[in-house]
Chain A
Amino acid sequence: MTEQNIQLAEESLAKQSTTLNLGPTHPATHGVFQNIMEIDGERVLSTVPTIGYIHRAFEKIAERRPYYQVTPLTDRLNYCSAPINNMGWHMTIEKLIGIKTPKRVDYMRVIIMELARIADHLICNSVVAVDTGALTGFTYVFQWRELIYEIYEEICGSRLTTNIGRVGGFERNFTEVAWQKIDKFMDGFPKVMREFEALLNRNRIFMERCIGAGPISAERALNYSFTGPNLRAAGVDYDVRVAQPYSSYEDFDFKIPIGTTGDVYDRYMVRNDEIWESYKIIQQALQKIAALEQADPTQKEIFYAPESDAYHLPAKEDVYTKMEALIYHFKMIMGEVTVPVGEVYHGVEGANGEVGYYLISDGGRTPYRLHFRRPCFIYYQAYPEIVSGGLLSDAIITLSSLNVIAGELDA
């Protein structure tokens, strides 16, 4: 270290405030974020966020990858709810090609996407609690997040970065074990969730800590292009699942919880209520699938759209044993399937807000241009405005309750 580095600049000696470097790797920030804060005592005067520490140039990489090879990239955006990103991407391709998926596939997707939303909200809410000093709830619900990951594992073979599903549906039908695991989760989850709520929702200490911390008005939130629970906590009932239904969300009966002040407590409560709404949606999806199968037993075998045959990877056992399947597999992986020329935007309601895919196809094997609308990236820019004037410790819980995921932030 040179002497230059430890010498303070003239102006920093003269000023009355302190510069605090929070991050890039700080135990309280759950991710790689740097914030250079000007603080006066405990008050944050201003902060300058620096991002991009894990920038992996996904949009550039996607321009060289056939469509199926883009799916693993989407996993690594918001890795807490990877299945939503995977399915959003597959639905974008389906929209481009014009594939209509069968109802059973839609409902199966809804189950997985809502499970992912529950898992994501559990992480966010329990981490908010951890940052306020309450570690117990975190340990309660993480056991159940684990069960959700076991369901993914049974369906697609992986847990965190799932690469789940295919264009037109799923790679294989859900096994009996998968349905049992879903039932097990559905049976036991409400009890644990109520326990978690009993620990925090009306906990005096937790409420005192969160109410009024890091608020944002509805007007500012809209102007900052907030989406998802953070926008709804400010009082705007915009949810892509209702505004532009995809994957048959119009068939489901659920509420959109909203808050009023957009502070940490409202964000926490909106996520908390959304967990229950997601739970209700999964219940309805299970009933709807059961009704479909009862009406027509052949429905049990449907797990992808028949019209997507040219884009749907053949089953692995066929690929290893049959010549045609091997050829089709190779053709699809190398991108030798025709894709229409076109421009398509598709948005899905991710756990953090509207995850958008803006895809320009020139008919080639790879996207000509693919842009991810990443909700984290868009709302994290409001962070300086939200935390300025507040306490430093509020800035920490604001960061966790905004649920900024470094992977999604940096793409």
Chain B
Amino acid sequence: MALTNEILKQKLTDKFGEQLTEWDEQYALLTVRMPAEANLKVMQYLYEAEGFQFLTDLTAVHYPERAGEELCVVYHLHNLVENIRLRLKVYVPVEKPDVYTATKIFSGANWMERETYDNFGINFVGHPNLTRILNVDEMDYFPMRKEYQMEDPTRIDKDDEMFGRGGTI
């Protein structure tokens, strides 16, 4: 029987129960939040038992207004046999952004995690070479975080509100 979002959700719920929360199915893509300490367990299970052996994408999002869980790491997994995608999310606080690395499961996660570290400062615990990849090595901040504005902050002629956002971000 073909694997569908409903069956997958049922299987994951049976296996991990309350650990998986915030189920969502926007645009037919099953999305679920998992606790940071269980991310490898969930992905290992999906890899071995459910055939999600392809890591399509790995990135992060910064939500400054979510106190205590500001950074969100997003995984897009793909089961090529059943042709079904799955999005997994992990939320971590910005003060201690520790997430276990997926490089043991997916070799391709190596640079994706380096890029995510480079831009957001997520500390992928156990990563073989967690160094900056796109930005210069001397950079001492994480530029994709929302507190860094695009325009030169000293300029007063360019008001953030004119460019789609309030001045606070």
Instruction: Show the binding face of A for B, using Cβ within 8 Å.
Output: 51-52, 55, 57, 59-61, 63-64, 66, 95-96, 220, 222-226, 236, 238, 243-244, 335, 342-345, 347, 354, 356, 358, 360, 364-366, 368-369, 371, 373, 377-382, 410-411
Q: Are the C-beta atoms of A347 and B134 separated by less than 8 Å?
A: no
Q: Are the C-beta atoms of B61 and A369 separated by less than 8 Å?
A: yes
Residue from B85, B87, B150 within 8 A of A64 (CB atoms): B150
Instruction: Tell me which residues from 130 to 167 in chain B have a Cβ below 8 Å from any Cβ of chain A.
Output: 132-136, 143-144, 148, 150-151, 163-165
Q: Are the C-beta atoms of A343 and B57 separated by less than 8 Å?
A: no
Q: Tell me how far the C-beta of B94 lies from the nearest C-beta in chain A, rounded to whole angstroms.
A: 15
Q: How many B residues touch A, CB cutoff 8 Å?
A: 39
Q: Are the C-beta atoms of B165 and A343 separated by less than 8 Å?
A: no
Q: A61-B150, A345-B87, A366-B165 are in contact. Are A95 and B27 (CB under 8 A)?
A: yes
Q: Tell me how far the C-beta of A98 lies from the nearest C-beta in chain B, rounded to whole angstroms.
A: 9
User: What A residues does B115 contact at CB under 8 A?
Assistant: 377
Q: Tell me how far the C-beta of B108 lies from the nearest C-beta in chain A, rounded to whole angstroms.
A: 3
In this complex, what residue of B is CB-closest to A411? Answer: B134
Residue from A343, A358, A382, A410 within 8 A of B107 (CB atoms): A382
Q: Are the C-beta atoms of B150 and A358 separated by less than 8 Å?
A: no
Q: How far is the CA of A66 from the CA of B135 in the complex (A)?
A: 25
Q: How far is the CA of A64 from the CA of B53 in the complex (A)?
A: 35
Q: How far is the CA of A95 from the CA of B26 in the complex (A)?
A: 11
User: What A residues does B135 contact at CB under 8 A?
Assistant: 52, 55
User: What A residues does B151 contact at CB under 8 A?
Assistant: 64
Q: Contact string, B75-112, partner A, CB cutoff 8 A, digits 1/0? A: 01000100101010000000000000000001110111
Q: Contact string, B111-140, partner A, CB cutoff 8 A, digits 1/0? A: 110010001000000000000111110000
Q: Are the C-beta atoms of A223 and B108 separated by less than 8 Å?
A: yes
User: What B residues does A244 contact at CB under 8 A?
Assistant: 83
Q: Are the C-beta atoms of A342 and B150 separated by less than 8 Å?
A: no
Q: A356-B76, A378-B112 are in contact. Are A51 and B57 (CB under 8 A)?
A: no
- B39 in the interface (beta carbon within 8 A): no
Q: Tell me how far the C-beta of B136 lies from the nearest C-beta in chain A, rounded to whole angstroms.
A: 8
User: What A residues does B111 contact at CB under 8 A?
Assistant: 377-378, 380-381
Q: A64-B163, A356-B56 are in contact. Are A238 and B80 (CB under 8 A)?
A: yes
Residue from A354, A366, A380, A411 within 8 A of B164 (CB atoms): A366
Q: Are the C-beta atoms of B61 and A360 separated by less than 8 Å?
A: yes
Q: Are the C-beta atoms of B150 and A60 separated by less than 8 Å?
A: yes
Q: Are the C-beta atoms of B164 and A51 separated by less than 8 Å?
A: no
Q: How far is the CA of A375 from the CA of B119 in the complex (A)?
A: 18
Q: How far is the CA of A55 from the CA of B163 in the complex (A)?
A: 23
Q: Are the C-beta atoms of B134 and A51 separated by less than 8 Å?
A: yes
Q: Are the C-beta atoms of A60 and B56 separated by less than 8 Å?
A: no
Residue from B54, B59, B164 within 8 A of A66 (CB atoms): B164
A-B contact pairs, 15 of them (CB 8 A): A51-B133, A55-B134, A60-B144, A243-B83, A335-B164, A342-B27, A354-B56, A356-B76, A358-B59, A365-B164, A369-B62, A381-B107, A381-B108, A382-B107, A410-B134
